[in-house]
Amino acid sequence: MDKLNAEQRSANMRRIRSGDTAPEKVLRQLLHRLGYRFRLHRKDLPGNPDLVFPARRKVIFVHGCFWHLHQECREGRIPQSRREYWEPKLLRNRERDARAIAELTRSGWLVFVVWECELSKNPSHVLLGVQKFLDRGSRRLP
């Protein structure tokens, strides 16, 4: 968990307008082009991770900043209007995310979270981080 937070923290935090790009799709295409193979939205895993790399036992979530309360950008704030509606809803999402990550980790999965704002702002930076995550520890020593 700490590692994940550190990675989020160190990531280039920039402001985002939510555009009409589909950041998750962009990431998928980039990874596919690089030769990574993965499954999508596996329902049998906690939190239905967006990208699943079974052989590496790694998963990636691509989180929308608003719905998942990205703490490091503007999109991830609880709206002031109708706060009584949004607050419990969004806090519940965040709770659910934390639980999913904990369960995955407990059963031996490594988890990486990509935030949409990072992805739409600086895809190549995100891609580097993702590659590092995917390739880490995957080479076997003879």
Q: Which residues here bind Zn ion, judged by CB under 5 A?
A: 65, 70, 73, 115, 117
In whole angstroms, the minimum distance from the beta carbon of 17 to Zn ion comes to: 11
Angstrom CA distances, 43 to 39, 52, 88, stand at 11, 11, 24
Residue 53 φ/ψ, nearest 5 degrees? -115, 85
Which residue's CB is nearer to Zn ion, number 115 or number 133? 115
Task: Choose between 12 and 138: whose C-beta lies nearer to Zn ion.
Answer: 12
CB of 76 to Zn ion, least distance (A): 5
Helix-helix angle 23-33:123-135, to 10 degrees: 50
Closest separation between CB of residue 11 and Zn ion, Å?
9
At 73, which amino acid appears? C
CB of 71 to Zn ion, least distance (A): 9
Cβ proximity to Zn ion, 23 vs 109, nearer residue: 23
- What CA–CA distance (Å, rounded) separates 25 from 20? 12
- Measured from the CB atom, the residue of 58 and 63 that comes closer to Zn ion is 63
Q: Extract the tokens encoding 28.
A: 């998928």
